[in-house]
Amino acid sequence: MRGLKLPLSQTQRVRLQRAFEKLQSLSAMANSDASVTVADTIPVNYEDAFLKGHGTTDLNGELVATVCGVVERVNKLVYVRSLRARYKPEVGDVVVGRVVEVAQKRWRLEINFSQDAVLMLSSMNMPDGIQRRRTALDELNMRSIFEENDIVCAEVRNFQHDGSLQLQARSRKYGKLEKGQLLIIDPYLVKKSKQHFHHLEQFGIGLILGRNGYIWIGEHVEARDSMVIDQAKSTEQSTVVEGINQAYTPLEMRQNICRIGNAIRVLTSLGFNVDLNLIMETVELSSSLKIDIHDMLGSEFHVLVAEMEAERRILTTKRKR
């Protein structure tokens, strides 16, 4: 609540404080040593061998934290994952980035990492969908695929010896993103899950939760295999249809995109993890209360969302018991 900058009335401040107190008590009950600050002691079993990881040190025979964050344990490794830090990529992460440079046989993307990521021409599907060697003509036509400031979805492929990051976009679900809105949030609010691509069928919207904190909300586009598209269609007809699709996005679609975007902004400002279920609950709350899109960023809706999340976690805890 300290970092929350909202014009709260006295009543709203009390309600919000009460909701946060409930959330903190539930978090303390669930995992007492989950969050640590500098110089906090991290409980470990000294009889079993363990490895000191990032953000920890040995002080007077105790393992203490050197950064503020969350304690993570992987087998014998104990480390502290710092919050509000830059994105730390892992192989297989789904990321959303912005093209900053078109270079020789590669694009450079800004993905909230310490270095720009590299997407090689050979690491993506060509527009014709045919698996073949890249030619000099393909290199000349790179700007027809991606150009500067385009928003692109890709996957972390590997790391180079110099620390640079390579991406790949070989699947049909990756590629250029259009007709939507890009949100940038703190990466730690997006947890790794089995599914980062979501189709909100009731709205006709596609949602991509990038692990780097870049979230895309846009008109859903079916992933189609260009090999099965009817090649007999005339070029003129396809050009006309494409021009119409690119020029027009229905008003209702744009309103839905903005409503979902504002729901994510509210969750982010409250410090809640951003996942599909919580986003949809926030959107449904705003719709059921008939709150206008721009009013979702007001103080009252922030308090309502905090109260809703506190009640939801209390019910979840009771069910587990």
Full-prediction pTM beyond 0.85?
no
Q: Provide the residue ranges of all domains of the chain, joining segments of one domain with +.
A: 8-22+36-80, 84-176, 178-220+249-320
Give the tens place of pLDDT for each residue, 282-312.
Answer: 999 999 999 999 999 999 999 999 999 999 9
User: Do 8-22+36-80 and 84-176 share a fold?
Assistant: yes
The answer to whether the beta carbons of residues 176 and 146 sit under 8 Å apart is yes
Q: Which residue in 309, 254, 96, 108 sits closest to 185, CA to CA?
A: 96
Report the CATH number of the 8-22+36-80 domain: 2.40.50.100
What CATH code is assigned to 84-176? 2.40.50.140
As averages over each run of 10 residues, the pLDDT of the chain (321 residues) reads 75 92 75 74 82 89 88 86 82 95 93 92 78 82 92 93 88 91 93 92 94 94 50 42 60 95 95 93 95 94 95 85 67
Side-chain-side CA neighbours of 24 within 13 Å: the count stands at 8
Report whether 205 contacts 283 (CB < 8 A).
no
Q: Please return the burial class of 80, using the count of CB atoms within 10 Å of its CB with bins 0-12, 13-18 and 19+.
A: buried
User: Can you read off the two tokens belonging to residue 95?
Assistant: 């990321």
| CA atoms of 286 and 135, how far apart (whole Å) | 52
